[in-house]
Amino acid sequence: MGIIYQLAEKLEMSELTVKKYLANAPNKYKVYKIPKRTYGFRIIAQPAKELKKFQRAFLDVFDLPVHNSALAYRKSISIKDNAILHCKNAYLLKMDLENFFNSITPDLFWKEWNKTLKILPRTEAQWLELLLFWRPSKKRNGKLILSIGAPSSPHISNFCLFNFDIIMSTKCEALGITYSRYADDLTFSTNKKNILFTIPKFVDSILTASFDGKLTINKNKTVFSSKAHNRHVTGITITNDGNISIGREKKRIIKHLVHNYKIGTLPPEEIDYLKGLLAFSGHIDPTFIDSLKKNIQQRLSKKYI
């Protein structure tokens, strides 16, 4: 069964309707900027509502393989699971893929597809390109790239690194290193001193061999750390006793906001922010929330008993 037929069945449309819609799909995106945490802006290309339906239908129809070491965008798996993988190891290396989603092109996608799945006729491949990729340029033959904002993009990105993840996992297992990838964040940890210093060069060589230089490492974000320094994995603090925590700074902020809430000085617009922090803390660091509750109860007891 062809791509168009399967999409038409899933969407309960005629094949002609599907073809007509996809013909101009790469231009059906709303583009806007959001500031990055450090500097600059991130370009978000949000597909039209109808195009999102088409892209979700693709995800339902096609079961693309994702490696177990890829933890982002997977049901019931979170940044907590990623941090737990590394929390018992003393030495840590973090690396970051540069401009990850927007570096994924149809050529890269098909190269990985042909390694893993049945090769599609060119006409079929073209329909998938129109469905899954965004055209930043208004030119009819402008370059297609994966967008940040499409519901299909996270799964496509994980699939495109499937073979890379296999190579990295196999190499790291042989060296006694734990490897995981959370979207564009590569994390390596071990209890073997100095062995992580061999990894960046290996990663660069595999990226070059696999993707012809289209995917590269952001050298400014490569970080080595150990128990002698603060260790963080996908925003979660690793403590020296091998546990995970939200970190001292977040705890300080939460205590400050809770105090202001109790005395009635917390602005209404910050209450939802506090709720979000408490929910995040309860998921990552439940012992801190328990101690916070206990402290509040003790203070109330002293005040009213």
Structural domain boundaries in the chain: 1-245, 246-304
For residue 133, pLDDT beyond 70: yes
Q: What tens digit of pLDDT does each residue of 18-47 get?
A: 999 999 999 999 999 988 777 778 889 999
> Quick check: 286 pLDDT over 60?
yes
Decide if 246 contacts 288 (C-beta within 8 A). Answer: yes
Predicted confidence (pLDDT) at residue 64 exceeds the cutoff of 80 = yes
CB 233 within 8 A of CB 86: yes
Distance CA 237, CA 246 (A): 6
Mean pLDDT of the chain: 92
pLDDT score of 305 more than 80: no
Using a cut of 0.75, tell me whether the model's pTM lies above it: yes
According to the model, what pLDDT value does residue 297 have?
A: 64
Q: Percent of the chain beyond pLDDT 90?
A: 77
As a whole number, mean pLDDT of residues 249-258 equals: 92
Written as six digits, the tokens of 5 are 């037929």
Helix axes 153-160 and 106-116, enclosed angle (nearest 10):
60
Which pLDDT score is estimated for 303?
45
**Is-contact 158 148, C-beta < 8 A?**
no
Residue 140 in this model has a pLDDT that exceeds 90: no
d(CA 76, CA 70): 13
> For position 22, what pLDDT does the model report?
97
Phi-psi region of 234 (alpha: psi -120 to 50; beta: other; left: phi over 0): left
pLDDT tens digits, one per residue of 87-131: 999 999 999 999 999 999 999 999 999 999 999 999 999 999 999
Confidence of residue 299 (pLDDT cuts 50, 70, 90): low
User: What is the predicted pLDDT for the residue at 38?
Assistant: 73
Nearest to 104, CA basis, from 49, 150, 67, 63: 150
Residue 179, judged by CB atoms within 10 A of its CB (0-12, 13-18, 19+), counts as: buried
pLDDT at position 86 over 50: yes
Between 93 and 262, the higher pLDDT residue: 93
SS3 of 214, please?
coil
How far apart, in whole angstroms, are the C-alpha atoms of residue 19 and residue 115?
27
User: CA end-to-end span of the chain, whole Å?
Assistant: 74
Which residue, among 63, 70, 54, has the nearest Cα to 11 in the 3D structure? 54
